[in-house]
Amino acid sequence: MTGTQPKPAKNRVVSIFDGSNLHIALKDKALPTRLHYTKLSIEVAKRLPKDLEPWVFLRTTYVTSSPIESDNTTAFKDWQVFLDMLEKTDRLDVRLGRREGPSGGRKEKGVDTIVTTTLLEGALRDVYDIALLFSSDGDFADAVDAVRATGKRVFNVFFKDLRSYHLVKAATGFIDLEVFDLERFKFFRHRPHY
């Protein structure tokens, strides 16, 4: 009996960004902080092991928190421009934590919980097969272990020199952001004039 082998199903890939964590690293390295996160995610997915092909990229989730307008009007307006950019990015969802505490000493709250629940909920609802987690926060190691126990794969994506040992150990693999020319992924609000 001759016949063609059934075509393998495509692995569904999503990306989850710990926005503040990545923003700080990009700023410290004097790299652009306003990136087209979906395009970057697709390029990163091209570095997945060949045995995971074929794959299809589905969505990006960018998790961050908003500054409070009364603390710094200029920073808040700048953040609004950034939020507008995120909302114009294809296949990207923004999920917001909050800022709490006294003025001048507010701390970001809820972001880690949102990243964790996004990872876990997506695995339990069978939304993805592979998650790209852009973070260097070792606190996510337990969530990654739980996701991998469901049969899903999680690749940690960050700068090699800033990575978390515990997060990398929990993940299926690690992809170094250092190998990407991040200037290529800069998000331009307006087309530059030449």
Specify the DSSP class assigned to residue 107.
E
Total domains in the fold of the chain: 1
Residue 191 lies in a domain: no
User: Residue 107, by phi and psi: left (phi above 0), alpha (psi -120 to 50) or beta?
Assistant: beta
Cβ atoms of residues 143 and 120 within 8 Å: yes
Task: Give the model's pLDDT for residue 68.
Answer: 66
| Range with the poorest average pLDDT among 3-7, 19-23, 71-75 | 3-7
Residue 50 lies in a domain: yes
Residue 190 lies in a domain: no
Amino acid, res. 179:
V
Place 191 in a pLDDT band, splitting at 50, 70 and 90. Answer: very low
Three-state SS at 56: strand
Residue 5 lies in a domain: no
Task: Give the model's pLDDT for residue 100.
Answer: 67
Task: Give the model's pLDDT for residue 193.
Answer: 40
Residue 131 lies in a domain: yes
pLDDT at 50 over 70: yes
Residue 136 lies in a domain: yes
Average pLDDT over residues 78-93: 84
The per-residue pLDDT for range 91-144, each reduced to its tens digit, is 989 998 776 666 666 676 778 999 999 999 999 999 999 999 999 999 999 999
Residue 111 lies in a domain: yes
Q: Which domain holds residue 44?
A: 11-185
Task: Give the model's pLDDT for residue 129.
Answer: 97
User: In terms of C-beta density within 10 A (0-12 exposed, 13-18 middle, 19 or more buried), how is residue 170 classed?
Assistant: buried
Residue 1 lies in a domain: no
Domain with residue 158: its CATH number is: 3.40.50.1010
pLDDT at 2 over 60: no
Q: Could you give the percent of the chain with pLDDT greater than 90?
A: 65
Task: Give the model's pLDDT for residue 192.
Answer: 42
Place 5 in a pLDDT band, splitting at 50, 70 and 90. Answer: low
Among residues 125, 157, 177, the alpha carbon closest in space to that of 16 is found at 157
